[in-house]
Amino acid sequence: MSATTEYPPNLDILLDVPVKLTVVLGSCQMSMKDILQLSVGSVVELDKVADAPVDLYANQKLVAQGEVVVVDDQFGIKLTKIVGA
């Protein structure tokens, strides 16, 4: 986002409100028996293929999709689609 972006005055009060962002790589269902058998090195297969977009949620609401990237040895997300209303 540009540092020169201007917002309507009535939005100023909301600009510092914290928002929890969550990136979802995929999901799966497992029985409790299988979960209890997990150990270090176990692999859990998710319901998405490796090159599928990941979902970005803001306070549990889907807002965008993107690709996983690595930035300075940390994971990030490159947005490829903003989800409309």
How big is the chain, counted in residues?
85
- Distance between alpha carbon 18 and the CA centroid of its chain, in Å? 16
pLDDT of residue 1: 45
Q: What is the pLDDT of residue 2?
A: 47
Say what the pLDDT of residue 51 is: 87
pLDDT tens for each residue of 3-28: 567 777 788 888 889 999 999 999 99
d(CA 6, CA 32): 51
CB 50 within 8 A of CB 68: no
For 53-75, what is each residue's pLDDT tens digit?
999 999 999 999 999 999 999 99
Topology of domain 18-82 in CATH is: Surface presentation of antigens (SPOA) (2.30.330)
pLDDT for residue 81 is more than 60: yes
